Homo-oligomer: A and B are copies of this chain.
């Protein structure tokens, strides 16, 4: 009802689209479902956005921009060892997934859809570059408080971290086996600690 400039409507639509996708899936995110979520009329959609495809691009941008690891950094310094830091970080990440599984699933659906859509095929690469950058940031943040060096290049280890996080999420979404996921995290933490050179040994 109120008069809102098109640029504001555009971001509001992207946010609404994300809500719909997380709740009901990408296939259910029709233009009508999106404007309903945003409380707009259908005409506002194409006034604010040229096409649905372009809005999905906005959604990915939004999601990539919002996804942060800021909450994880304090955890790292609190941990007594690299292994413990890795365990806490992965556990916190999985908890985040559990808290809103639809959101994480939305990301996968968006990625898969973008890979199939000619106009969006460049998005997944950007998306994962961002993930890897976040992981690099996280590994760097873990470096100082633990006085450690990594035995392998940080970008490589970052990619492994993203790999584990993705795989962990996928399997948990499929079988919702909390205990099994926790055991996977234990092993992954061991593995990551393997690549750390801890100058100061800390006992458990």
What's the Cα separation between A160 and B188 when bound, in Å? 7
* A190 in contact (CB, < 8 A): yes
**Which residues in B have their C-beta under 8 angstroms from that of A48?**
none
* A202 in contact (CB, < 8 A): no
Can you list, as one digit per residue, whether each of A129-140 has a CB less than 8 Å from chain B (1) or not (0)?
100000000000
CB closest residue in chain B, given A108: B112
Are the CB atoms of B180 and A171 closer together than 8 Å?
Answer: no
Q: Which of B112, B168, B174, B183 contacts A109 (CB 8 A)?
A: B112
* A47 in contact (CB, < 8 A): no
The segment out of A36-44, A50-58, A120-128 that lies at the interface is A120-128
The segment out of A9-17, A71-79, A151-159 that lies at the interface is A151-159
Interface size counted on chain A using CB atoms at 8 A: 47
Q: Which of B116, B129, B187 contacts A160 (CB 8 A)?
A: B187
| Chain A contacts with B in 177-191, Cβ cutoff 8 A | 180, 183-184, 186-188, 190-191
Q: A residues engaging B (CB < 8 A)?
A: 24-25, 27-28, 105, 108-109, 111-113, 115-116, 124-125, 127-129, 152-153, 156-157, 159-160, 162-168, 170-171, 173-176, 180, 183-184, 186-188, 190-192, 194-195
